[in-house]
Amino acid sequence: MNIRAITQIIEGIKTTDGAGVNLTRIIGSSELNMLDPFLLLDEFGSDNPDDYIAGFPPHPHRGFETITYMLNGKWQHKDSAGNEGKLGEGSVQWMTAGRGIIHSEMPIQTDGLARGFQLWLNLPKEKKMIEPSYQDIDAGQIPIVKEMSGTVKVISGNYNDTMGPGESHTPVLILDIQMNENSELVIPVENGWNAFGFVYEGEVRSGKTISKGQLAVFEKDGNTHFETTEKPTGIYFVAGEPLNEPVARGGPFVMNTRGEILQAFTDYQNGVLDK
């Protein structure tokens, strides 16, 4: 069996976003600008409400998708397309900005603790201007595959013939892996896909040791092998087919050219995005 080696281990950088939410930016930082088709990965987690209570007031997006997965706590989503939903523990909000949307993500305090991930998934050129859409995926809708080594929650894509509920516009695999101590697990991944694993609890080996708070980027061919020792471990694992297209960024907009970014800002200023 061909096993992918680790090509890079990323620590991420501490930063703030929104109205002052403290978070760690892992993809979209100076260490790793992007991993096609993944534009950004943020981890947020604190038991101090001051670190996150201001949330993300209304702001625009165009040209990509945001996938927010909550481990703990609750957030509320509202957008200009009329969608509204509460993101609870273990649930997912999947927002497709398409041609443009204005949305807000605000915390609902529960015992002080809020923890989770937000992933930005690029849209291919031909789908950047599609109609915005929204998927509210409850924790109970996410299948859990039981393994000898632990459990695998399938958020999107196909893991060992189990399909996740998240519907993407390009092929992706998004898993929440919980491994027992002294165990091992092989994750099948399509050859040619980019893949990463972020360790949010414990420690795991995959040729090299990946500690809590670190993200490992893997080679593009073969499956991924994880092995734990004395610590139970949680891994946010993501893989996807690269788009191999030009990427132009401008704050909350991600398009293919600088001209398209300038048009997005013009449309936002003229109130086009929320029509």
Task: Provide φ and ψ at 247, rounded to 5°.
Answer: -125, 125
Residue ranges covered by each domain of the chain: 6-269
Check whether domain 6-269 has CATH 3.60.21.10, yes or no: no
Q: What is the per-residue pLDDT for 50?
A: 58
Whole-angstrom CA distances from 265 to 221, 260, 262 are: 39, 9, 5
What percent of the residues of the chain are helix, what percent strand, and what percent coil, each to the nearest 5?
A: 10, 55, 40
Residues with pLDDT less than 50, the chain: 19
Please, which residues have CB within 8 angstroms of residue 176's CB and are 6 or more apart in sequence?
Answer: 69, 152, 153, 155, 234, 235, 236, 237
pLDDT in tens, 30-87: 889 999 999 999 888 766 555 555 566 567 889 999 999 988 877 777 676 777 777 7
Q: What is the per-residue pLDDT for 44?
A: 82
Q: What is the per-residue pLDDT for 52?
A: 56
Name the region of 31 (left: φ>0; alpha: ψ -120 to 50; beta: rest): alpha
Q: What is the per-residue pLDDT for 74?
A: 76
SS3 50: helix
Q: What is the per-residue pLDDT for 66?
A: 92
Q: What is the per-residue pLDDT for 239?
A: 98
- Residue 61's DSSP bridge partners are 101
d(CA 246, CA 168): 20
Say which residue the tokens 């929320």 belong to: 274
Q: What is the per-residue pLDDT for 144?
A: 98
